[in-house]
Structure 1
Amino acid sequence: MIQDIAPKRLDNQYKPDAAPQDDSVVFYFRDGKVLVRQDEGKLFPTYAQLQRPQDCVYLFTIGRKAFFLLLSAEDPVIPAGFDFEPVRSIRSNKEAKLPSFYAFYTALHLSGWYRVNRFCGACGQQTVLDTKERALRCTHCGNIIYPRINPAVIVGVLHDGKILVTKYARNAEVPYYALIAGFTEIGETLEETVKREVMEETGLHVKNIRYYKSQPWGSAADILAGFYCDLDGSPEIHMDRQELSRALWASPADVILQPDDWSLTNEMMQRFKEGKPC
């Protein structure tokens, strides 16, 4: 999955004094797009390739390579062979390596947080980078803003040797399946989120809720908690057509996996498809 980058590992300790080196990777996001090289590899630019711009904020390190985010209000010099591509297209790039993809999604998460918190939500004054931890601080009222992480669930509902699979209404044309998913609401446990989301999207009741695994997913700034559970009652599906285009019970042979194996959703469906304990 996306976090499985061993033997490399993510070091996300905040280092406010870290300075980019010429080979440091620099992510530059603009209007829902990211700067990438246009030839084979689709790699992200280095600090030297961008002619050593100012306003690079340290993000994290994977292995021995440091990653930075360019927060400049003005465009840097775009090197030859580079251009902006929609962030959604990066996942479909078959040449992307897992550590780079993980770095991209984590950088995307942090980029969104920095972008929407340039001003204090309490007093409206401009925020600055904290000097001790990954936070934004208001110099006027002292308000501290930490990166937002949204809790969400992925649910594999099982019944009579089948699993409940879905297709989102917004992605009705894709050939592969997904699982029930949704964000946790205020005052709600993860298990309660599982029950509510399954009921809201398919009208089904569930029991025997059991935790499987978690995964960070930067495109939605969330931490996904995966659960399997069993049907409780009637298997008749009453689909929420605003959320879903399809919802059905699928046998292992009928489960159509996603084109990559980077998501917790795909891993959970593949586990069922291969007959492993769920």
Structure 2
Amino acid sequence: MLSIPASRPNAYTGSPLDRAADRREDEAFIAAALADPDTLFVPVWRARSLMKGVQEGHPEAVLLTGAAAEAVRMAGGPWSFLGFWERRPVFAVDCSAADDPLPLLPRGDGWDGIGFTDLRTVAGLLPEGEAAVLAHARGLMHWRTKHRFCGVCGNLCEPRSAGHVMLCTGCGAQHFPRTDPAVIMLVVRGERCLLGHSHRFPHTAMYSTLAGFVEPGESLEEAVRREVREEAGIEVGAVRYHSSQPWPFPSSIMLGFHAEALSEEIRIDPQELRDARWFAPAELRDPKAHGFALPRPDSIARRLIEDWLAQAS
């Protein structure tokens, strides 16, 4: 099976940030950056990101400075240092404790149409790099809000390293941000590819690539073969890496592959899939006419399909 390269970067990649991990332990620098009126803050409210222009179809990230940043910080939620954007410090701040953080912001020119939006609905429309920064903030704030207590002894944890470590006040265990690896694969046999209809999409006609989390003690290739066998009963041989995509919804990274099927008969696991089928290129090029839908454009699933389709006859 030929390796099919990624045709372009995936959504949520290409971050413009210098993560500057060496500055996280510099308490004087962090304190000065937090007080600097030019520092940028990326607010997260109940897993949503602050944007403008969404209704017009031209979304842009809204990063706060000065009095506006201080207002959301006063909500008392967790924060973390993300790095530098064009030499300006950038922090994520969670303002989910406020029932509605918008009234906290000082109003002014250019603030019409600003609101908190689910990043997944607009990622493909955001300017280059902005989706990556918002995803970074979203993922880190999810971890901060979900790891307030120690998983070893249950005591309260306190943030360290500018919000990148949670230190247990009881047993002293250190907890770090986690990313759960998941494999996602387009399985190909001859001139057709395998797509499944998941229980996660009961009200749509979407068919997508198969996917699943990597288990302990398992290589990525082994995870691909196991997931395809478990979900669709198809045996897989060669596995070729394609690309990866951060997927902080809430805390995954998708590792994309093209995989060669060694068998053809589909035997779905009804607990995992409602249906699975082999699709020809002509069907994928006009899914609406054939009664199904493809995955969302910002997903690596869609990229795996499109890049294979570009090389198909």
Structure 2 SS opposite 1:125:
coil
Deviation digits for residues 88-146 of structure 1, max 9, x if unmatched? x6433664223111111121111111011112222333222223883111233211001
1:10 corresponds to? 17
8 Å CA contact retained: 1:155, 1:194: yes
Deviation of 1:178 after TM superposition, in Å, equals 1.9
Closer, same or farther: CA 241–65 of 1 in aligned 2, 3 Å? farther
Structure 1 SS opposite 2:122:
coil
2:81 corresponds to? 58
1:245 corresponds to which of 261, 271, 274? 274
1:78 corresponds to? 105
- The one-letter code sitting in structure 1 at the alignment partner of 2:46 is D
1:212 corresponds to which of 219, 222, 242? 242
1:43 corresponds to? 61
8 Å CA contact retained: 1:127, 1:136: yes
- The one-letter code sitting in structure 2 at the alignment partner of 1:26 is F
Structure 2 SS opposite 1:148:
coil
Which gives a bigger RCO, structure 1 or 2 (Cα 8 Å, sep 6+)? 2
- Distance in structure 1 (CA, Å) of the matches to 2:250 and 2:256: 16
8 Å CA contact retained: 2:20, 2:83: yes
How much identity, in percent, do the aligned residues show?
Answer: 27
Structure 2 SS opposite 1:52:
helix
2:41 corresponds to which of 3, 26, 48? 26
The TM-score with structure 2 as length reference comes to 0.74
8 Å CA contact retained: 2:79, 2:141: no
- The one-letter code sitting in structure 1 at the alignment partner of 2:41 is V
2:301 corresponds to which of 265, 272, 278? 265
8 Å CA contact retained: 1:22, 1:52: no
- Distance in structure 2 (CA, Å) of the matches to 1:63 and 1:174: 42
- The one-letter code sitting in structure 1 at the alignment partner of 2:223 is T
The TM-score with structure 1 as length reference comes to 0.83
1:69 corresponds to? 92
2:310 corresponds to? 274
Unaligned runs of 5+ in 1: none
Deviation digits for residues 206-244 of structure 1, max 9, x if unmatched? 1112222222222241222222221123x1212233333
2:169 corresponds to? 139
Closer, same or farther: CA 99–22 of 1 in aligned 2, 3 Å? farther
Deviation of 1:73 after TM superposition, in Å, equals 7.4
- The one-letter code sitting in structure 2 at the alignment partner of 1:84 is F
2:142 corresponds to? 112
Deviation of 1:163 after TM superposition, in Å, equals 1.0
- Distance in structure 1 (CA, Å) of the matches to 2:84 and 2:280: 42
CA-based RMSD of the aligned residues comes to 3.0
Closer, same or farther: CA 121–265 of 1 in aligned 2, 3 Å? same
- The one-letter code sitting in structure 2 at the alignment partner of 1:268 is L
Structure 2 SS opposite 1:273:
helix
Unaligned runs of 5+ in 2: 1-9, 288-293
8 Å CA contact retained: 1:57, 1:71: no
